[in-house]
Amino acid sequence: KAGVTQTPRYLIKTRGQQVTLSCSPISGHRSVSWYQQTPGQGLQFLFEYFSETQRNKGNFPGRFSGRQFSNSRSEMNVSTLELGDSALYLCASSLYGQGNGYTFGSGTRLTVV
Amino acid sequence: SQQGEEDPQALSIQEGENATMNCSYKTSINNLQWYRQNSGRGLVHLILIRSNEREKHSGRLRVTLDTSKKSSSLLITASRAADTASYFCASNSGGGADGLTFGKGTHLIIQP
């Protein structure tokens, strides 16, 4: 069974640009969650999607958005990038979500310069 | 924001010894999970313990949960060099609202 696939693995963007990250969950999993990991704030919850609907959202500004497609693949978008958005972005997939065990991808490391 | 705190922040032990990490959380939970992360890569789910459970085992892992003290501990027995990683506890308050709330992690180093 293929794991959670995140693309790209690394990304360098300039302040003010926007970026789109992609996540393909484990086949059959309908829940996709996104987390941001930084040295200062640690792991923080961004949002969770289930069957194409955003079910939960963390405390992040509106510049952070996401969506989920009918095949459960998910994308997250960050607009008007700031230096502080530099982080490892992790995607997690689960059969039904709701706080049960998740399988994480290897992450996308975003550097904003 | 971080809900939990892991203790210690870093731990270095000899191979073969046992490693114990502690985690505290602030609000009532539905379950608590432990994850391992190697060198800034993805997290690997280790074990989940529900709020009505007090202890759980999985291979060399033993997790305890004390809901009255809002704390949990992870014990790794007979440690191996491959256990070197960061370990995070993550609490779920129920229903998935706010997702998982992670602690800051314990960085474990196993000396060969």
Which residues from chain B sit within 8 angstroms of residue A42, using beta carbons? 2, 102-105
Q: Which residues of B3-12 are buried (b: 16+ CB within 10 A; e: fewer)?
A: bbbbbeeebe
pLDDT tens track of chain B, all 112 residues?
445 678 899 999 999 999 999 999 988 888 999 999 998 788 999 999 999 999 999 999 999 999 999 999 999 999 999 999 999 999 988 655 568 899 999 999 999 9
A35-57 pLDDT, tens digit each: 999 999 999 999 999 999 998 89
Contact of B31 with chain A, judged by CB distance below 8 Å, is answered with: yes
For the segment A65-85, the average pLDDT, to the nearest whole number, is 97
**Chain A stretch 49-78, residues whose beta carbon is closer than 8 A to a beta carbon of chain B:** 55-56, 58-59
Contact of B61 with chain A, judged by CB distance below 8 Å, is answered with: no
Say if residues B85 and B37 touch (Cβ distance below 8 Å).
yes
List the domain boundaries for chain B.
5-111
A40 contact partners, CB below 8 Å, separation of at least 6:
none
Tell me if residue B64 falls in helix, strand or coil.
strand
Which residues from chain A sit within 8 angstroms of residue B105, using beta carbons? 42
* A49 C-beta neighbours (distance < 10 Å), count: 25
What is the model's pLDDT at position B4? 65
CATH superfamily of B5-111: Immunoglobulins (2.60.40.10)
CB-CB under 8 Å, B41 with A99:
no
Contact of A43 with chain B, judged by CB distance below 8 Å, is answered with: yes
Helix or strand holding residue B99 (H, E): none
